């Protein structure tokens, strides 16, 4: 039984006890505990169940590498699944629930899978869930879906209660890892005056050294660590961050750091997590090493833990994993665990050492305190159901057929040697080399990740670099960080050679191998990897996916090396030949919240507001998103429906006067000696001959001739034009023009300045429009002759500087007035006041759309979709035949573009006057070469026209303009056939008399 | 003349820093050859400032001149006089390849004040604020929108963005200035 020791625990404060619950059961721990330490201290070994077989799982590790102890943390708006108890700091009121069990953790129905494990081999899904086909949808998929995933997702209606943020930083040297290697490197770099950031993923510095009782510069490691930290904190050029994990290493020295600012203080008024986005000159990875498990039968039972983790629990938190512990190892380091347990008063039943003889200093110390050392032995099998009760031993060099001895115990501390944490080195392309003597992959200094200059920008130091002795670790870190003077000194502790052990006993039978877990979270066993090899999976990447080895939330931090050693053995090749799977960021999962950063709630996305936005809102407007803008769609009054509001707004405008906020229209100033030349290239029609004071409608195409944007151009002066773009197109067209000016026509003397937001633009539209403006008071002649259709003037209206364009997108008498944005609301108010006697009312984008459709005006994005050329829309009149060139000219001459078979714009009227659905297709009999129904046309816009009292539509139809009056069938909703007639697309005032009054 | 209204009149917030909308400010985009003596003279006449070096803003007795790009300056002058300054620039630059346009109303202008200003700005702007002297300027982004940021004096910083996103930038700065979000990176 795991339990709290009566003394010790370097990280806990026994005076501060913290209450928490696990599966609703109240428990208590101490401040400084991790959740796993507190649970073990409270005697709770069972933490969850595995993914495939639902086998009982207990904690294995003490840090980020933990595969098993995953819980759902918190509740409601602060619930989060799959949280590792080993990296969760205990706080008062913590609520944890176990995962992957039904109906309860203690009794789980899914565990029946375990009994069926011989029928659920590697690749089971691939093999079994294919036939019969029909079973997939109705049988297999629901089952897989039900059992998929680990923790449950947060409830759909909950919203994350916490805030998050990003932080951009820059430094010369970023040190990943605050162990003694990292601190040594950081201090060396800091003393050289470099800008240094140190990121330590836990809340404590020093790494393993204080736990292992190292002595540095003549003092205990923890004291040395405190001294270095004090020095670093005192330096202006150093930032020291605890609870901050380097999550990813990316191109050009871009590092992501994941700071858990307030996980340990839930509800605190702080950002919960902060994402550090850092550009570094050099990254020094001092990420240490991770101990490897050993593969023996029953090694997945709760109570089987890493030897180093056992040591951590004993020394850091005064928690013993059991009363009687067996240590099993292939190296000297695990004897430190035996000694630590012994020193803490826990019975060490025996150290099972696979090596023929254990002769090093540490085994000698263990023997000296009376610990039994069994040499050349192996664990044949762990006995117990929900947790360890005993181990059966056999000779290591055997097939496990003969049980030599059975030892009662309630915990096992295993050590298969160490693997440097090479993840960060590898994220951006650093290569590894196999160290035969120590049986691990370590960074190959000759092949580091390369930066923009072709030089390596990552250096690994200490254990992360394969240094396993404290003396080596410190000098490596000191030298790599170009420290001056002596490296920190330490007492060497000589260790005898380890014996690579990938399976115990060495020639284990199939029966044993089928019980040896490699990946305890995903339930991948030695036999599964061997089966994959037998079935021809030679690539480690394929084997990974086939068996799911290392694909769980821990990404195989414990299992990968053991797995690929088994695979190599099965394939009869050396481990380096098999290679590793790819190490990808993040090192451990980071929260979705921190990726979004501050972009939540009102600042999720920028919302662009016109100067009259607040006024619209106060009217109860119904908004339409247009790009990032919000534009009024309509202004419903009282209980009025949107459709009725649109009808009312159109009728008001057509019969008297309406007001439109057109501020979102793009307004690009093009100016310079070559301005005329530039606009002639940008537009398909001739613009350079436009007279000052006049306006002209123009089309812009891309190089392929496809229609891209349209709008009215006003010539402001000899050398300047004001180009109006669509609301959504302003930034895109601005960038497009800059692109041409900067990259292709860099010697042309023309500037483009985006003035979109300088002006509020207000359209005063309708037969009474002129009266309203005149009543507002103006120093301009706004009469029919004084300001003719398609002219503009500068002057004042309502005492506000105004530029008036007499242009019309509705077919009515219409003035678009541009005023400084800061006076937009003032102008709007003045227009409402002056127009009151005419019943003036604002209208929205839908009324605008209907009115333009009644006039047969096209809309970019409705009649165009990136495949439409101006000729398709019968806009040949707007394509200059005189100009030598313009953007799109050559594209329009391609064979397909001049084909007589292109669909062309027509008007459509349903025979029954109903409104046809936008996007409806006109089907033809038969299918095309792709087996799709043939079609001859498509509705591009469709509205109810209150002016005409019926549905009107525009469509692109094969040979449309030649088929006027012809009846054509469209396919409506639910496949119903709707009969319609092809008509002229100008439904209203074809002669244009209304706008020219 | 009707009173002109800035995007977020009198907006103020105090958290890790003091935030305030700076009110209506005259701004003029000036594009042209920044090495031209004629342009330099026009800038001096408009603002009293010299043509700024790359990523700098220069102050004169009647305004400021900010570097925007290799062929663009932003002139900052009193709001009421901006239209007149544009006219004066056009006269002075007649015959030069140069464009002056008033953008006073196209912008929102914020002031960020306090010792933690750099820590707050670094939450939204990917800029290295160490060794960032008074008079330095960056065209950058504030989270998802374009912005220009410069150091006016000591702990006083200015940020301009487009007027339409004034509320977004305000909410953004207020969010990342909330107490509890101290970083302590820039000291």
- Domains identified in chain B and CATH numbers: 12-23+106-176 (3.30.1360.120), 26-105 (3.30.70.1520)
Tell me what pLDDT residue B107 has: 97
Q: Please state, rounded to an integer, the average pLDDT across all residues of chain A.
A: 94
Structure tokens at A443: 């960074």
**Where residue A152 falls among pLDDT bands split at 50, 70, 90?**
confident
Give B126→chain A minimum CA distance, Å: 5
Chain B residues whose CB is inside 8 A of the A825 CB are 5
Q: Which CATH architecture has domain A666-757?
A: 2-Layer Sandwich (3.30)
**To the nearest whole angstrom, how far is the Cα of B71 from the nearest Cα of chain A?**
10
Q: Which CATH architecture does the domain made up of A895-995 adopt?
A: Beta Barrel (2.40)
| Structure confidence at residue A83 (pLDDT) | 94
Rounded to an integer, what distance in angstroms lies between the CA atom of residue A444 and that of residue A441?
9
Nearest to A271 among B103, B125, B181 (CB): B181
Distance in angstroms (rounded) separating the CA atoms of residues A549 and A519: 6
Domain limits, CATH 3.30.1360.120, in chain A: 617-664+758-851
Say whether B101 and A168 touch across the interface (CB within 8 A).
no
How would you write A438-494 as a 3-class SS string? CCEEEECCCCCCECCCCCECEEECHHHHCCCCHHHHHHHHHHHCCCCCCCCCECCCC
Give the nearest partner residue to A610 out of B4, B97, B164, using CB atoms: B164
Mean pLDDT of A154-167: 94
Residues in chain A closer than 8 A to B140 (CB atoms):
none
Res. A131 pLDDT band, cuts 50 70 90: low
pLDDT tens per residue, range A221-253: 999 999 999 999 999 999 999 999 999 999 999
The predicted model gives A600-626 an average pLDDT of 97
CA distance A909 to A967: 9
Mean pLDDT along residues B55-82: 97
Q: B62 to chain A nearest CA, in Å? A: 22
Residue of A nearest to B83 (CA): A801
Provide the pLDDT confidence category of residue A48 given band limits of 50, 70 and 90: confident
Residue A785, pLDDT score = 94
- Chain B residue with CA closest to A163: the answer is B175
Radius of gyration, CA atoms only, chain A: 38
Domain A163-289+419-480: give its CATH code: 3.50.50.60
Distance, in angstroms, between A459 CA and closest chain B CA?
23
Q: How far apart are CA A120 and CA A108, in angstroms?
A: 18
Number of Cβ pairs closer than 8 Å across A and B? 142
Task: List the single range of A411-415, A520-524, A590-594, B19-23 with lowest mean pLDDT.
Answer: A520-524
User: Which residues of chain A are within 8 Å of residue B180 when distances are taken between CB atoms?
Assistant: 262, 268-271
Q: What per-residue confidence (pLDDT) applies to A119?
A: 61
Report whether pLDDT(A856) > 90: yes
Cis preceding linkage at A103, omega within 30: yes
pLDDT exceeds cutoff 90 at A966? yes
Between chains, do B2 and A823 touch, taking CB under 8 Å as contact? yes
Chain centroid to Cα A462, Å, comes to 32
Q: Chain B residues with CB inside 8 Å of A236's CB? A: 187
Beta carbons within 10 angstroms of residue A791's beta carbon: 16
From chain A, the residues in CB contact with B176 under 8 A are 165, 598
The whole-angstrom distance between A751's CA and the closest CA on chain B is 7
Every domain of chain A with CATH number 3.50.50.60 lies at 163-289+419-480, 321-416
Q: Which of A169, A599, A826 sits opposite B143 (nearest CB)?
A: A599
Judged against a pLDDT cut of 60, whether residue A144 lies above it is answered with no
Task: For residue A669, give both structure tokens.
Answer: 């100033």
Contact B4 A822 (CB under 8 A): yes
- ipTM > 0.95 (yes/no): yes
* Start-end of CATH 3.30.70.1400 domains in chain A: 666-757
Whole-angstrom distance, CA of residue A798 vs CA of residue A806: 17
> Residues of chain A with pLDDT > 70: what percent?
95
- Side-chain half-sphere exposure of A92, counting CA atoms within 13 A: 5
H/E segment holding residue A141 = helix A141-147
Over residues A854-878, the mean pLDDT reads 96
Question: Considering only CB atoms, which chain B residues are within 8 Å of A169?
Answer: 122, 185
| Dist. CA A282–CA A192, nearest whole Å | 14
pLDDT band at A266 (very low <50, low <70, confident <90, very high): confident
Tell which residue, A21, A192, A201, A100, has the closest CA to residue A589: A201
For residue A757, pLDDT over 70 is answered with yes
Mean per-residue pLDDT of chain B: 97
Question: If 0-12 CB within 10 Å is exposed, 13-18 middle and 19+ buried, where does residue A322 land?
Answer: buried
Q: Which of B71, B128, B185 sits opposite A167 (nearest CB)?
A: B185
Q: Where in chain A is the domain with CATH 1.10.10.1100?
A: 501-573
CATH number for A321-416: choose from 2.30.130.10, 3.50.50.60, 3.40.50.2300, 2.60.120.10: 3.50.50.60
pLDDT tops 80 at residue A314: yes
Domain A1-159, what fold?
Ubiquitin-like (UB roll) (3.10.20)
- Cite the DSSP H helix spans in A622-674: 642-655
CATH architecture of the domain A501-573 equals Orthogonal Bundle (1.10)
- The pLDDT tens digits of the residues spanning A373-392 come to 999 999 999 999 889 999 99
Average pLDDT over residues A731-756: 98
CA distance B98 to chain A (A): 7
pLDDT at A71 over 60: yes
Judging by beta carbons within 10 Å of its beta carbon (0-12, 13-18, 19+), is residue A774 exposed, middle or buried? middle
CB–CB of B124 and A166 under 8 A? Answer: yes
Angstrom distance (rounded) from CA A185 to CA A866: 56
Give residue-wise pLDDT tens across range B84-143.
999 999 999 999 999 999 999 999 999 999 999 999 999 999 999 999 999 999 999 999
Mean pLDDT of A899-928: 96
Tell me the mean pLDDT in the region A877-897: 96
Whether the pLDDT of residue A148 is over 60: the answer is: no
**How far apart (Å, rounded) are the C-alpha atoms in residues B95 and B98?**
8
Determine the pLDDT at residue A101.
67
The tokens describing B9, both together, are 């009149």
When pLDDT is averaged across residues A87-110 and rounded to a whole number, the result is: 81
What residues contact A306, with CB distance under 8 A and at least 6 apart?
A60, A61, A62, A291, A293, A413, A414, A415, A558
Mean pLDDT of A641-663: 98
Nearest residue, CB atoms, A751 vs list B1, B99, B180 = B99
Q: What is the model's pLDDT at position B44?
A: 98
pLDDT confidence of residue A149: 54
Q: Is the pLDDT of residue A576 over 60?
A: yes
pLDDT reading at B59 higher than 80: yes
pLDDT the model gives residue A135: 65
Q: Give the CATH superfamily of A617-664+758-851.
A: Probable tRNA modification gtpase trme; domain 1 (3.30.1360.120)
Band (pLDDT 50/70/90 cuts) for residue B187 is confident
DSSP reduced 3-state for A989? coil
pLDDT digit string, tens, across residues A674-711:
999 999 999 999 999 999 999 999 999 999 999 999 99
Residues 6+ apart with CB under 8 A from B2: A798, A799, A800, A823, A826, A827, A830
Q: Residue A398: helix, strand or coil by DSSP?
A: coil
Q: What is the pLDDT of residue A137?
A: 63
**In this structure, are residues A936 and A987 in contact, taking their beta carbons and an 8 Å threshold?**
no
Contact at CB, A671 and B104, closer than 8 angstroms: no
- Chain B neighbors of A166, CB-CB under 8 A: 123-124
Per mean pLDDT, which range of A101-115, B48-62, B151-165 is the poorest?
Answer: A101-115
Pick B165's closest partner by Cβ from A606, A753, A755.
Answer: A606
Do the Cβ atoms of B180 and A268 come within 8 Å?
yes
pLDDT band at A151 (very low <50, low <70, confident <90, very high): confident
Q: Which of A597, A608, A669 lies at the smallest CB-CB distance from B164?
A: A608
| pLDDT tens track for A787-818 | 999 999 999 999 999 999 999 999 999 999 99
In the predicted model, what is the mean pLDDT of residues A585-602?
Answer: 96
């Amino acid at each position: 039984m795991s339990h709290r020791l009566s003394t010790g625990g370097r990280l806990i404060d026994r005076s501060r006890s913290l209450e928490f619950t696990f599966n609703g059961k109240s428990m208590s721990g101490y401040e400084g505990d991790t959740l796993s330490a507190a649970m073990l201290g409270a005697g709770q070994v069972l933490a969850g169940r595995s993914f495939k077989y639902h086998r009982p799982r207990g904690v294995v590790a003490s840090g980020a590498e933990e595969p098993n102890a995953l819980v759902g943390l918190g509740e409601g708006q602060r619930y989060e699944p799959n949280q590792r108890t080993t990296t969760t700091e205990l706080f008062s009121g913590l609520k944890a629930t176990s995962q992957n069990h039904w109906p309860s953790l203690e009794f789980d129905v899914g565990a029946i899978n375990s009994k069926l494990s011989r029928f659920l081999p590697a690749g089971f899904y691939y093999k079994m869930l294919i036939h019969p086909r029909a079973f997939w949808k109705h049988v297999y998929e629901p089952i897989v879906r039900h059992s998929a995933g680990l923790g449950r997702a947060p409830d759909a209606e909950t919203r994350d209660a916490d805030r998050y943020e990003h932080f951009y930083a820059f430094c010369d040297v970023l040190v990943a890892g605050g162990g003694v290697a990292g601190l040594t490197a950081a201090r060396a770099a800091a003393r050289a005056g470099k800008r240094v950031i140190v990121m330590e993923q836990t809340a404590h510095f020093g790494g393993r050294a204080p736990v292992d009782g190292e002595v540095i510069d003549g003092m205990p490691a923890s004291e040395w660590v405190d001294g270095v930290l004090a020095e670093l904190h005192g330096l202006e050029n150093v930032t020291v961050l605890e609870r901050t994990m380097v999550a990813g290493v990316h191109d050009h020295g871009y590092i992501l750091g994941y700071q858990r600012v307030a996980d340990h203080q839930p509800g605190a008024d702080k950002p919960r997590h902060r994402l550090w986005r850092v550009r570094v000159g050099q990254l020094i990875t001092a990420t240490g090493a991770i101990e490897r498990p050993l593969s023996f039968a029953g090694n997945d039972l709760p109570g089987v833990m890493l030897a180093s983790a056992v040591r951590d629990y004993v020394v850091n938190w005064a928690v013993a994993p059991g009363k009687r512990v067996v240590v099993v190892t292939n190296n000297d380091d695990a004897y430190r665990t035996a000694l630590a347990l012994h020193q803490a008063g826990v019975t060490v039943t025996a150290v099972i050492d696979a090596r023929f003889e254990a002769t090093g200093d540490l085994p000698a110390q263990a023997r000296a305190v009376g610990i039994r050392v069994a040499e050349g032995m192996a664990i044949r099998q762990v006995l117990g159901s929900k947790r360890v009760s005993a181990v059966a031993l056999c000779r290591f060099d055997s097939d496990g057929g003969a049980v030599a001895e059975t030892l009662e115990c309630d915990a096992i501390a295993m050590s298969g040697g160490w693997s440097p944490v090479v993840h960060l080195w590898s994220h951006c392309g650093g290569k590894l080399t196999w160290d035969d003597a120590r049986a691990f992959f370590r960074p190959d200094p000759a092949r580091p990740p390369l930066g923009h200059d072709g030089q390596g920008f990552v250096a690994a130091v200490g254990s992360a670099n394969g240094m396993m002795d404290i003396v080596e670790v410190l000098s490596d870190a000191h030298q790599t960080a170009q420290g001056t003077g002596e490296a920190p000194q330490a007492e060497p502790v000589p260790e005898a050679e380890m014996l690579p052990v990938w399976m115990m006993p060495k020639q284990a039978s199939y029966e044993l191998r089928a019980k040896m877990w490699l990946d305890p979270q995903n339930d991948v066993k030695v036999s599964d990897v061997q089966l994959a090899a037998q079935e021809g999976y030679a690539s480690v990447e394929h084997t990974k996916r086939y068996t799911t080895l290392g694909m769980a939330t821990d990404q195989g931090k414990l299992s990968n090396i053991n797995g690929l050693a088994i695979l190599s053995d099965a394939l009869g090749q050396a481990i380096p030949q098999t290679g590793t799977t790819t190490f990808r960021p993040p090192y451990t999962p980071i929260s979705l919240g921190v990726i979004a950063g501050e972009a939540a709630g009102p600042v999720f996305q920028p919302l662009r507001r016109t100067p009259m936005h607040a006024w619209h809102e106060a009217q109860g407007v119904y908004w339409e998103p247009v790009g990032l803008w919000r534009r009024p769609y309509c202004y419903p009054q009282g209980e009025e429906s949107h459709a009725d509001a649109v009808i009312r707004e159109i009728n008001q405008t057509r019969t008297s006067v309406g007001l439109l906020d057109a501020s979102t229209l793009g307004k690009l100033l093009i100016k310079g000696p070559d301005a005329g030349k530039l606009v002639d290239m940008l537009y398909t029609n001739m613009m350079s001959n436009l007279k000052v004071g006049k306006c002209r409608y123009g089309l812009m195409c891309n190089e392929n001739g496809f229609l891209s944007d349209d709008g009215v151009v006003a010539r402001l002066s000899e050398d300047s034009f004001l180009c109006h773009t669509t609301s959504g197109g302003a930034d895109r067209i601005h960038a497009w023009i800059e692109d041409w000016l900067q990259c292709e026509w860099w010697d042309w003397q023309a500037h483009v300045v985006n003035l979109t937001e300088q002006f509020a633009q207000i359209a005063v539209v309708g037969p009474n429009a002129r009266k309203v403006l005149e009543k507002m008071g103006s120093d301009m002649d706004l009469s029919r002759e004084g300001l003719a259709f398609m002219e503009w003037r500068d002057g004042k209206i309502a005492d506000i500087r105004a530029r008036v364009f007499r242009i019309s997108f509705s077919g009515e008498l219409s003035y678009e007035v541009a005023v400084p944005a800061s006076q937009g609301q003032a102008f709007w108010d003045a227009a409402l006041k002056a127009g009151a006697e005419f019943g003036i009312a604002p209208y929205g984008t839908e009324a605008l759309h209907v009115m333009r459709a009644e006039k047969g005006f096209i809309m970019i994005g409705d009649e165009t979709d990136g495949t439409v050329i101006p000729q398709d829309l019968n806009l040949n009149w707007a394509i200059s035949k005189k100009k030598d060139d313009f953007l799109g000219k050559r594209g329009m001459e391609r064979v397909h573009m001049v084909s007589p078979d292109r669909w062309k714009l027509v008007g459509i009227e349903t025979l029954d006057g109903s409104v046809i659905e936008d996007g409806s297709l006109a089907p033809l009999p038969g299918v095309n070469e792709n087996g799709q129904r043939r079609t001859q046309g498509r509705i591009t816009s469709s509205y109810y026209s209150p002016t005409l009292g019926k549905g009107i539509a525009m469509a692109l139809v094969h040979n449309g303009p030649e088929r006027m009056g012809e009846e054509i069938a469209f396919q409506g909703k639910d496949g119903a056939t709707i009969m319609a007639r092809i008509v002229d697309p100008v439904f209203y005032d074809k002669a244009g008399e209304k706008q020219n009054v | 003349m009707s009173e002109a209204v800035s995007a977020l009149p009198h907006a103020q917030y105090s958290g890790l820093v003091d935030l305030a909308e700076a009110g209506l400010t005259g701004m003029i985009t000036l594009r042209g050859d920044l090495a031209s003596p004629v342009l330099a003279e026009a800038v001096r006449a408009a603002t009293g400032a010299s043509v700024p070096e790359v990523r700098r803003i220069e102050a004169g007795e009647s305004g400021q001149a900010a570097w925007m790009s290799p062929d663009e300056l932003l002139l900052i002058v009193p709001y009421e006089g901006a239209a007149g300054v544009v006219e004066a620039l056009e006269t002075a630059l007649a015959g030069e390849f140069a464009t002056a346009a008033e953008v006073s109303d196209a912008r929102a202008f914020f002031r960020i004040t306090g010792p933690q200003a750099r820590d707050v700005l670094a939450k939204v702007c990917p800029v290295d604020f160490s060794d960032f002297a008074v008079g330095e300027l960056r065209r950058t982004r504030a989270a998802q929108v374009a912005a220009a940021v410069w150091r006016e004096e000591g702990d006083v910083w200015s940020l301009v963005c487009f007027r339409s996103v004034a509320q977004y930038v305000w909410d953004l700065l207020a969010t990342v200035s909330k107490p509890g979000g101290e970083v302590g990176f820039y000291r």
